[in-house]
């Protein structure tokens, strides 16, 4: 019995030492989003600061493709040693489970949440050629011309697609979805007037709002954005109960030792609170969050249920 307790004690000491010395080599952060995207920007700003703290390089690994499935699967199957971190989001963790029958990962079982990183408010924008200046006017126009207005998204189940479907379900309007392979071309076609409207991140629209190339009607969050305080929420603008924020957060492969999760949680949340980090990211439209692993796990479970209902009500099916 003494040998058993001695062995357990030595293992505990080794685990504590591992966390204290972590990291001893570069840390890879897998993000299933393209370079230059909002979440990629977040990953790189936080990664640089974490690298300075750790004295080790943080490598951002953009594993894109298949609506985030490729990168998410790679993260789920990585060794649970703390050297592969996953930056996932609402689409990969809460939406994909309802779109794909044979998803090669389980959002709840294959990951250990570390902390929420940020929410990214989305705003409803229209091309100036569309004769509307409010959500109520848009709804009235759509009802007067069913199936004649279109909207762009970065793909089925994306953070641009779901809020527009939420608007459609909640108001009964009939509008046409135009899915693209990524946010970039979708946004470009709304800017060019080939597509009438879309929901997209705050950081994408501010420059074009100022030049008049886009008209911002409302923000999807339940509260107004500090970046665009004059823009009403969709709920304020006439659709009660509307609530959509895109979120992103850090996770580790399931089975990662608890002490490493604790270490990463402490370092990441400290980084999120750093004044220089906040000065860089808040003007880009990020609401930096932080929070406990348990809170993030609860959010994932809640949104899996919430978006499952929306996907069913809206009749959304994967394009695959």
Q: Over 60: is that where the pLDDT of 16 sits?
A: no
| pLDDT tier at 13, thresholds 50, 70, 90 | very low
What percent of the chain has a predicted confidence (pLDDT) above 70? 93
Where in 24-130 does DSSP place strands (E)? 27-31, 58-62, 84-89, 111-126
Cα-based angle 64, 65, 70 (whole degrees, multiple of 5):
80
pLDDT at 5: 56
| pLDDT tier at 8, thresholds 50, 70, 90 | very low
Place of tokens 């693209």: 180
pLDDT at 154: 87
CA distance 90 to 316: 16
Q: Mean per-residue pLDDT for 3-10? A: 51
The DSSP element (H or E) to which 114 belongs, if any, is strand 111-126
| pTM attached to this predicted model | 0.86
Q: Count CB neighbours of 181 within 10 A.
A: 12
Asked whether 291 and 300 are in contact (CB, 8 A), the reply is no
Asked whether 165 and 314 are in contact (CB, 8 A), the reply is yes
| Residue 273: HSE in the Cβ half-sphere, 13 Å Cα cutoff | 9
Of 120 and 82, more confident: 82
Summarised one tens digit per residue, pLDDT across range 45-76 is: 999 999 999 999 999 999 998 889 999 999 99
pLDDT at 14: 47
| 3-class SS of residue 111 | strand
| pLDDT tier at 182, thresholds 50, 70, 90 | confident
What is the separation of C-alpha 53 from the centre of its chain, rounded to a whole number of angstroms?
A: 25
pLDDT at 20: 76
CA distance 116 to 25: 24
| pLDDT tier at 227, thresholds 50, 70, 90 | confident
CA distance 121 to 110: 27
Residue 92 makes CB contacts below 8 A (sequence gap 6+) with 32, 67, 68, 69, 71, 72, 107
In the chain the domains, ranked by start, together with CATH numbers, are 2-119+247-314 (3.40.190.150), 121-219 (3.40.190.10)
Summarised one tens digit per residue, pLDDT across range 229-284 is: 999 999 999 999 999 988 999 999 999 999 999 999 999 999 999 999 999 999 88
| pLDDT tier at 225, thresholds 50, 70, 90 | confident
Give the bridge partners for 83, in sequence order: none
């Amino acid at each position: 019995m003494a040998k058993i307790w001695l062995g357990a004690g030595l293992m505990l000491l080794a685990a504590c030492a591992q966390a204290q010395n972590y990291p001893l080599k570069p840390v890879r952060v897998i993000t299933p989003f393209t370079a230059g995207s909002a979440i990629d920007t977040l990953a790189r700003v936080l990664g640089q600061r974490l690298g300075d703290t750790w004295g080790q390089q943080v490598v951002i690994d953009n594993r894109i493709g298949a609506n985030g499935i490729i990168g998410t699967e790679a993260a789920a199957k990585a060794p649970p040693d703390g050297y592969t971190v996953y930056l996932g989001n609402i689409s990969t963790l809460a939406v994909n489970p309802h779109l794909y029958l044979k998803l090669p990962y389980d959002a709840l079982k294959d990951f250990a949440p570390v902390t929420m990183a940020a929410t990214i408010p989305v705003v409803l924008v229209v091309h100036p050629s569309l004769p509307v200046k409010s959500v109520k006017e848009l709804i009235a126009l759509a009802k007067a011309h069913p199936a004649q207005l279109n909207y762009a998204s970065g793909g089925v189940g994306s953070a641009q697609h779901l809020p527009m479907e939420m608007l459609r379900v909640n108001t009964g309007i009939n509008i046409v979805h135009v899915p693209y392979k990524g946010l970039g071309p979708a946004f470009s076609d709304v800017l060019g007037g080939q597509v009438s409207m879309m929901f997209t991140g705050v950081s994408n629209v501010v420059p074009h709002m100022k030049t008049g190339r886009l008209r911002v009607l409302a923000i999807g969050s339940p509260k107004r954005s500090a970046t665009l305080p004059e823009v009403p929420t969709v709920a304020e603008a006439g659709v009660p109960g509307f609530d959509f924020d895109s979120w992103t957060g850090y996770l580790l492969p399931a089975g990662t030792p608890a002490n490493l999760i604790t270490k990463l949680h402490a370092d990441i949340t400290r980084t999120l609170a750093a004044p220089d980090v906040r000065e860089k990211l808040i003007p880009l439209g990020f609401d930096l969050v932080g929070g406990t692993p348990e809170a993030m796990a609860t959010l994932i479970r809640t949104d899996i249920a919430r978006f499952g209902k929306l996907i069913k009500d809206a009749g959304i099916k994967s394009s695959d």
